[in-house]
Amino acid sequence: MRGSRPCTGLEALSHIDRLMKTVTCCFAATLLAAAAPPHNAPAPHADDPPRVADVAPAAAAPASHENQEALERERALVTEATEALGEANGKLTWLAFGFLIIGAIQVGMIVVQILVLFRSIPSVEAAVSTRNRPRLVLRHCDLETFEPGRLAKVLWIVENMGNSPATILEAHATLLAMRRGTLPAIPEYDQRNHATGGMPVDVGRGVRLVQFTGEELSSGDYDAVTRLGTGVVLFYGYLLYEDALNIRRRTGFCRLFDSHTGRFTVLDDPNYEYAD
């Protein structure tokens, strides 16, 4: 149907529950109606002899027409009572069997509800996790020191733009002055600049970090970046963090320094710039 949407696990569970309850009620009503005594059964009359199956036989008496008729009536009553008892036992047996089926239906309904509930738990957790997840981003980076014969220095700030706190497990960054060329497909991180430990980052808060180059900046690299335009300064790395549910996420970043503006710009490369 146009405009319809697929049922969620909880909606399907509600539909199944209503259907099973309807079937159970209809089945129980049918059994009770079948087990009820017929409405047109004759009511006992005051002059009728007692309908007891174990009436002791009368003592031997001279055979007479009246005694013979009374004996025949007693036998007919005993036969009728036995048939009625057998019919009642049969109805009770079917009634017990019906309630057994109803119990099986109820157990099946509970099992279906449990299965649907367990299957819906991951989707609910994923929705909650996605909606309330933290999101760490490289908010700001600034090249504070860039002189020949010194270590280049970058101040960078990581900010939580999500909806829940996060804990940084690893913070890795590489500051590299190099001649223009193609970056490796797999980032080559400087393992000397690898910070580990739990750094909490609240929602809307930031963490200030500092990064240096691994080696002093040479005059040739400095001139290539600032005067000749044949060199570039790259700042790239990644953040590994987790949320309150211990779900780990990783964010990669890569920035290219523009010597004309004195600012870093985002380098559009999915191998370096990405987010989980």
- The average confidence (pLDDT) of the chain is 77
Where along the chain do its domains lie?
Answer: 9-38+47-131, 136-275
What predicted TM-score, i.e. pTM, was given to this entire model? 0.53
In tens, the pLDDT along 106-163 reads: 888 888 878 877 776 766 665 555 678 899 999 888 888 888 888 888 888 899 988 8
Residue 61: pLDDT band with limits 50, 70, 90: very low
Question: Which of 50-59, 122-131, 247-256 is the most confident on average?
Answer: 247-256
Residue 49 CB partners (closer than 8 Å, separation 6+): 70, 73, 74, 77
Fold of the CATH domain 136-275: Immunoglobulin-like (2.60.40)
275 or 215: whose pLDDT is higher?
A: 275
44 or 88: whose pLDDT is higher?
A: 88
Residue 7: pLDDT band with limits 50, 70, 90: low
In tens, the pLDDT along 184-230 reads: 788 887 766 666 677 888 888 888 887 777 778 888 888 888 888 78
In tens, the pLDDT along 18-29 reads: 766 676 666 666
DSSP string, 207-276: EEEEEEEEEEPPHHHHHIIIIIS-EEEEEEEEEEEE-TT--EEEEEEEEEEETTTTEEEE---TTTSEE-
